[in-house]
């Protein structure tokens, strides 16, 4: 424990999500996203993986 007056050196501890600076991103990923969206890749992947998802409530209780 130190002697002396404590000051608020840390300032604000929490930052809201919308206050965080955002990077401009990368052209490659912007182009990839547009291609995947245009060709409905999300829908394709969901339909492809659908048989592996349970339609019930999950595993039975013990």
Write the CB contacts of 16 (distance below 8 Å, at least 6 apart in sequence).
Answer: none
Q: Please report whether residue 55 resides in a domain.
A: no
Does residue 30 fall inside a structural domain?
Answer: yes
If one counts the domains in the chain, the total is 1
Domain that holds residue 30: 26-50
pLDDT tens-digit readout, 42-55: 999 999 998 888 77
pLDDT band at 59 (very low <50, low <70, confident <90, very high): confident
pLDDT of residue 10: 63
When comparing pLDDT for 61 and 29, which is higher? 29
Query: 32 lies in a domain?
Result: yes
pLDDT (tens digit per residue) in 1-48:
566 676 666 667 888 888 888 888 899 999 999 999 999 999 999 999
């Amino acid at each position: 424990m130190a002697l002396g007056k404590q000051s608020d050196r840390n300032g604000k501890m929490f930052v809201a999500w919308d206050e965080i600076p955002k990077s401009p991103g990368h052209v490659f990923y912007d182009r990839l996203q547009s291609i995947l969206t245009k060709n409905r890749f999300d829908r394709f992947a969901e339909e492809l993986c659908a048989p592996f998802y349970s339609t019930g409530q999950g595993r039975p209780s013990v």
